[in-house]
Amino acid sequence: MALKSDTILHRIVVYALLLLGSAAFILPLVWLLSTSLKGDTGLFEIPPKWVPDPFHWDNYKKAVHSFPFLRYTWNTVLITVLCMIGSMLSSSFVAYAFARLRWPGRDAWFVVMLATMMLPGQVTMIPLFILFKELGWINTYLPLIVPFFFGSAFYIFLMRQFFMTIPKELSEAAKIDGCTELYTWWRIFMPLSKPALATLGIFTFTLVWNDFQGPLIYLNDTNKFTLMLGLRSFQQQYGTRWNVMMAASLLVMLPTLALFFSFQRYFIEGVTLTGVKG
């Protein structure tokens, strides 16, 4: 009897804490929704009103018409999908070499690769920009997409750690059956690494979808802009249309939200993958 009431108490405390935690995390989202429905005058009311009166649904109309919303959505989707394909293919490919192939200097090169993670983006910004300019890639999507087809240190690291956990026997068996390394990577390692690949894909998605600086410096033609650039257009030197901006932000966030709920499992796994296996 005593035991049972203990567990009930335990549960109550746990759920209360969880509820509190979720409330803290959902609050900004609710505030975003609330602001996106407010009129121009009710924005900074004290005490703040959570439920706007009346609902200004026209903010959403204004948001969609303030910049070419569909066009920017298409641009962003195009870039994001290509980047996801690129990073999944290239990072796992390189990771396979680091995890399973034996070649001279492999470990040293691994360290060199990890060291590139230490370079802050600001340091490489101008040299990279000049490089892409010499290639004639300014005002195209190439500087935003192509780098993802050459792997990135963190993703390679992530994939390598995952590949290391796959039993050697599997690849050895494949080799005995006459499987080439390329084939082993594609037919055995890739299908076995779906959770890691999904993590990688989701990371790339959020990174590219939310990327602001890349499109800002490389794109000059407003028709080629991405959603993030569109969002910022509401911010002006003397004042911002917060309500319209929040409405647009919510629309831009929807795909991320949808992705999160459908792949929640992988998000969590991603955290444990990156957290424990380092």
Beta carbons within 10 angstroms of residue 167's beta carbon: 9
Pick the binder of another protein from 33, 77, 89, 138 (CB under 8 A). Answer: 138
Pick the binder of another protein from 29, 216, 258, 271 (CB under 8 A). Answer: 216
Of 141 and 185, nearer to another protein (C-beta) is 141
- Cβ atoms 129, 217 nearer than 8 A: yes
Please tell me the distance from the alpha carbon of residue 212 to that of residue 65, in angstroms, as a whole number. 21
3-class SS of residue 235: strand
Distance of closest approach, residue 15 Cβ to another protein, in angstroms:
34
Pick the binder of another protein from 5, 24, 51, 107 (CB under 8 A). Answer: 107
Stretch of 179-187, 200-208, 227-235, 268-276 contacting another protein, by CB under 8 A: 227-235
φ, ψ for residue 177, nearest 5 deg: -80, 5
Pick the binder of another protein from 44, 51, 176, 276 (CB under 8 A). Answer: 44
42 secondary structure, DSSP code:
G
Single-letter residue type at 95: A
Distance of closest approach, residue 35 Cβ to another protein, in angstroms:
12
Site for another protein in 50-69 (CB under 8 A): 66
3-class SS of residue 226: coil
- E strand or H helix at 58: helix 58-66
Six-digit token pair at 249?
């932000």
Six-digit token pair at 40?
């121009």
Question: Under the criterion CB under 8 A, does residue 135 sit at the interface with another protein?
Answer: no
Nearest to 184 by CA among 194, 195, 173: 173
Distance of closest approach, residue 69 Cβ to another protein, in angstroms:
14
Pick the binder of another protein from 5, 7, 236, 262 (CB under 8 A). Answer: 236
Contact residues for another protein (CB under 8 A)?
43-44, 46, 66, 107-108, 111-112, 115, 118-119, 123, 125-126, 129-130, 133, 138, 212-213, 216-217, 220-222, 229, 232-239, 241
